Amino acid sequence: GIANPQKGSRTLYIIVFRQLSPITELSGAEFLSAWWDCVLCHRDLWKGGVHHRDISAGNLMYYRNRDGAVVGVLNDFDLATFVIGKGPTGNQRTGTVPFMARQLLSKAGLDGKITHIYRHDVESFIWVLVWVCLRFHQGYERNDKSQDLDLWLKADEAQCREKKNDFLLSHEEFSPSLSHKDNW
Quick: pLDDT tens for 131-158. 999 999 999 998 875 567 888 888 899 9
> What pLDDT digit, counting tens, does each position of 38-57 carry?
999 999 999 999 999 999 99
51-60, 82-91, 95-104, 140-149: which has the minimum mean pLDDT? 82-91
- Tell me how far apart the alpha carbons of residues 4 and 158 are, in angstroms, rounded to a whole number: 49
Q: What are phi and psi of 61, to 5 degrees?
A: -125, 180
Report strand pairing: 21-22 vs 60-64: antiparallel
40-54, 60-74, 167-181: which has the minimum mean pLDDT? 167-181
pTM (two decimals):
0.86
User: Is residue 17 within 8 Å of residue 75, measured between CB atoms?
Assistant: no
- Residue 123, pLDDT > 80, answer yes
Rounded CA Rg of the chain: 19
Q: What was the pLDDT predicted at 92? A: 58
Q: What are phi and psi of 110, to 5 degrees?
A: -70, -25
Mean model confidence pLDDT for the chain? 88
Question: First and final CA of the chain: distance in angstroms?
Answer: 62
The neighbour count for residue 112, using CB atoms within 10 Å, is 12
pLDDT-based confidence at residue 108 (cuts at 50, 70, 90): very high
- Tell me how far apart the alpha carbons of residues 112 and 99 are, in angstroms, rounded to a whole number: 18
Residues of the chain above pLDDT 90, percent = 62
- Tell me how far apart the alpha carbons of residues 118 and 48 are, in angstroms, rounded to a whole number: 12
Question: What b-and-e string marks burial along 1-22, b requiring 16 or more CB atoms within 10 Å of the CB?
Answer: eeeeeeeeeeeeeeeeeeeeeb
